[in-house]
Each structure stands twice: as C-alpha cells, then as structure tokens.
Amino acid sequence: METVNIRNPGMYWDIAANIHFPPNFDAGKRYPAVVSNHPIGSCKEQTSGNVYGTALANAGFVVIVPDASFQGGSGGKPRWIEDPEQRVKDYRDVIDYLQSLPYVDPDRIGILGICGGGGYSIKAAIIDKRIKALVSITGVNFGRLMREGFSNFDPVGALEGMAVQRTTENAGADGRVNVFLPASVEQGKAAGITDIDVLEATDYYRNRCPAEGSGTRMMFSHAAPAIAWDAFAFAETLLTQPMMVVFGDKPGGFGAYRDGMEIHGRAASKHKEMVVVEGWSHYDLYDKPEPVDKALERLVPFFRKHLGEAAEADRPKAA
C-alpha cells in the first residue's frame, strides 16, 4: 500500500489517499482501477480501505481510497465539513490523478462507495462518464437523510438554525460541531435510542473499528447545502453505467434499504443488479465476514466483467 497526497491544478488543498496494489503488482502493466469511498463520518482506514479496498486489490484491481476534504488526512478548513458537492468533486479529482498513473488504464475506472459514500458515488457516476462501473454498498442519499432524520424532519427549521449559527460564528463565536453518535452503545440505549443503525454505527465506530481520522461529526453551520442536495437527481436519464446496489434486508433509520430500492428502479442503466443480503443490516456490511463475503461474491465478478483484468502496457516499438 502507498499513501499519496493529491493536488491537481485548480485544487486548494491536498486529498490524502491510500493506494492498494494487487498481488505481484507489475508497474509495466495497465490495471483496471476502482475508487473506494468511505461513509459519512468515516475515513480511508476503515471499511472502504481495510475491507473493500483490500479485497478488490487482492482480486486484481488497483484501488485508491481517498479521505474526504475537511476530514481524515485530507486538507481543507474548517474541519468536519460534510459537503456533498465537494465530495463528488473530490472523487473526480481522484480520477484525474488515477488517469495520470502509467499503470492504470484510464478507460477502465470504476467506483464503489459505502453508506453516504455510496450516494456520492452514484452522483459522481451520473455526471462523470469516465466512470465505467458503479457499486453502492448499503448506499444512502445523504440529502434525503438530512431532510428527514438528521433534521428531525424539520429541514426549514434546520436551515434557519444553521443561518443563525453561521452569523454567530462570523461574529467571532466558536464553531458548533454536531457529533452523529453517542459515546457508547450503552449510553445510546440509556438515552432511549432504539434505532438499529444508530446503535450498530456506535458499535462499529467506537468498538469494532475505531480510527484516528474518523470524525463521525459535522460542522453545523456549513451543512445547509446538504439539505438541498439529491444524490439521485436525473438518474432516470443520466445514470447509464452498469450499476450494482448491495444492501441488507434489516432496514434501519438511515434508509439504505429504501434508497437501494429507489435508485435501482430509477437508474437508466441497461445493466443493473440489486443484491439484497438476507438477514444482515447496514453496519454488518461494513466488516462482518459473512455478509461482506456475500457482497464480494457478487461485486468482484461485476467489476471484472465491466472493467476487465490487467493487461500488458503498450510500449513504443523498436526502431
């Protein structure tokens, strides 16, 4: 694995990313590549990297796993901004970088995202046709979630609160950072939380896979763009690439089950697959071996079909 800092022309800060290489990597070949994108509040060292990134690299792909701008090892201030349009821009900047690597085939690049990263990856595929295949793992339309559960189903009230907070910060007050999760599963239950997604997210981020770069938080005053954003807009006409959506059949409050059903129905893709992993939940698909294996059994052949395998690089002919 190699850690890189990406700054393409026109960028104002670096994007930190890990590149995972296939076994017996040969820099003289051209490999299909996959951009693997972390969930909201996560980082490149968690499920997008240590589970799906590693597995796809072992299957023969070059996999790049970026940290979102304002988060993890990437630059940008203030910290902990969750901006959907910036996330999509990050992915496109990462693809620019991938296409500059001599061992990556610039015409065989796929994208994979988990949770909110799945929704962002869908939007990236809608607008960027350099992406040749798309996989969403328990993907969530973050704009829909912000208008619903993350704003207590009062998006206008949330926008008004953000406006007040931003005015206050402009006058010199400290920034307000909202933490998504309780400190522990026990504290969550004591506070009356019963939703499977919140409790299992707390277990994942606090117990199963804690990581220094994982924020599980958001700058409140900068969250307004997410409320007016939609990962699935224009999917009926513009989402044309081969697509696979994977989600468990145990629905929770973050809505991956309904979002997976929706985008599968709406996408214009001629080749689209829906994988419902029976008996498992949103956060089981982050790192639990059995459901992850079920997902990989479908998504690895899917990427191989649509991106191919490593090939000898074109070399200049001898004079």
Q: How far apart are CA 143 and CA 130, in angstroms?
A: 24
Q: Is residue 317 a part of any domain in this protein? A: no
Find the mean pLDDT for residues 21-29.
97
- The answer for residues whose C-beta is within 8 angstroms of residue 13's C-beta and 6 or more apart is 7, 69, 74, 75, 76
Q: Is residue 170 a part of any domain in this protein? A: yes
> Residue 245: beta bridge partners?
136, 274
Burial tier of 109 (Cβ tally within 10 Å: 0-12, 13-18, 19+) = buried
Q: What is the mean pLDDT of the chain?
A: 96
Q: What is the pLDDT of residue 318?
A: 36
DSSP 221-253: GG-HHHHT--TTTTHHHH--S-EEEEEEEE--T
Find the mean pLDDT for residues 214-233.
97
Q: What is the pLDDT of residue 168?
A: 98
Examine the pLDDT at 40 and tell me if it is beyond 80.
Answer: yes
Q: Is residue 93 a part of any domain in this protein? A: yes
Q: How far is CA 145 from the centre of its chain?
A: 15
Q: What is the CATH number of the domain that holds 241?
A: 3.40.50.1820
Going by C-alpha positions, the residue among 208, 214, 265 that lies closest to residue 79 is 214
For residue 64 the two structure tokens come to 């790049």
Q: How far is CA 158 from the centre of its chain?
A: 24
Find the mean pLDDT for residues 104-118.
98
Q: What is the pLDDT of residue 28?
A: 96
Q: Is residue 319 a part of any domain in this protein? A: no
Express each pLDDT in 163-218 by its tens digit: 999 999 999 999 999 999 999 999 999 999 999 999 999 999 999 999 999 999 99
Q: Is residue 148 a part of any domain in this protein? A: yes
Find the mean pLDDT for residues 101-107.
98
Examine the pLDDT at 94 and tell me if it is beyond 60.
Answer: yes
Examine the pLDDT at 315 and tell me if it is beyond 50.
Answer: no
Alpha helix (H) ranges present in 47-149? 54-58, 84-99, 116-127, 142-147
> Residue 33 sits in which domain range?
2-312
Q: How far apart are CA 217 and CA 211, in angstroms?
A: 13
Q: Is residue 269 a part of any domain in this protein? A: yes
Going by C-alpha positions, the residue among 101, 83, 86, 98 that lies closest to residue 36 is 98
Q: Is residue 18 a part of any domain in this protein? A: yes
Express each pLDDT in 261-313 by its tens digit: 999 999 999 999 999 999 999 999 999 999 999 999 999 999 999 999 877 76
pTM for the structure as a whole: 0.96
Q: How far apart are CA 224 and CA 6, in angstroms?
A: 27
Please count the structural domains in the chain: 1
Q: How far apart are CA 66 and CA 121, in angstroms?
A: 12
- The answer for residues whose C-beta is within 8 angstroms of residue 188's C-beta and 6 or more apart is 181, 182, 198, 199, 202
Q: What is the pLDDT of residue 195?
A: 98
Q: What is the pLDDT of residue 311?
A: 78
